[in-house]
Structure 1
Amino acid sequence: MAKAEKRIIVVGGGLSGLMATIKIVEDGGVVDLFSYCPVKRSHSLCAQGGINACMDTKGEHDSVYEHFDDTVYGGDFLADQLAVKGMVEAAPKIIKMFDRMGVPFTRTPEGTLDLRNFGGQKNKRTVFAGSTTGQQLLYALDEQVRKWEVKGKV
């Protein structure tokens, strides 16, 4: 008798739910994705500002340590510093992954990712897609999930 494959339930079709779905199927799992509303109507659509990451495309000599410091200070030292450290170290890799997935981030005339100041950061480290960053992320992740759906993994 064939072994039944395990299915994992993901609740929520916003950015977190879609990213969790992608990571699970990339690791060989099968996902049942449930969302209260159509994915492209989730509240993640409203995220506009951008994503902070130490990309240093503007030659400001930014560092992961400075990003960590700004984030902890901006959170009035209430954030879990180990979690913040993990986040700031992973952020550049996540931006590159989103870029490969087709998120149309705003770019400089030279073609590098454009960065802007945002949210209490001392350096320009916010990567953005015009004023529709959340929408662009959501559409790109939805497209990736659809590719897995066609293969019967979602």
Structure 2
Amino acid sequence: MSDEPRVEIPEADFTDPRSVATSFWIAWGSFDGASDTDEIYVDRYSPFVTDSFLEEHGDEGIPVPPQTLTAFRESGRLSLTEVEDVYVPENTTESDMQVVLTLEGVKRDWDGDTEVADPRPTSINVMVNNIGDDGEDWRVAAILYQ
């Protein structure tokens, strides 16, 4: 396995739920077959989630079907999530303590320097909570499945 991670996570502004959600989704939705172990993967997204989220999902490791995971590790492929838009969905309220966000973007798969498939649209809904006692400190609390 490679020592250099190829998944680049933008620095999150923890006072901005959209920034935290963006960094989380790139970390959660991307996988490096050359360097990711379950531990590296979980460590990548853990700064952006609540303790309860980590307790619920941390033991799962990489949420990829085993046959896909094996193929990615054998080939050393890279799957990257790119975020293009973040918004509060219609009929959802935003508060100082919690917000539901929809993130839209694309998935890209790479084998070395070659993109091996057309970019494909992807989206996710997340609930982001303000866990700060004296100010804003946002973390992803849940993935909301449709």
TM-score, scaled relative to structure 1: 0.27
User: RCO greater where, 1 or 2, for CA within 8 Å and sep 6 or more?
Assistant: 1
Higher strand residue share: 2
Larger Rg: 1
Higher helix residue share: 1
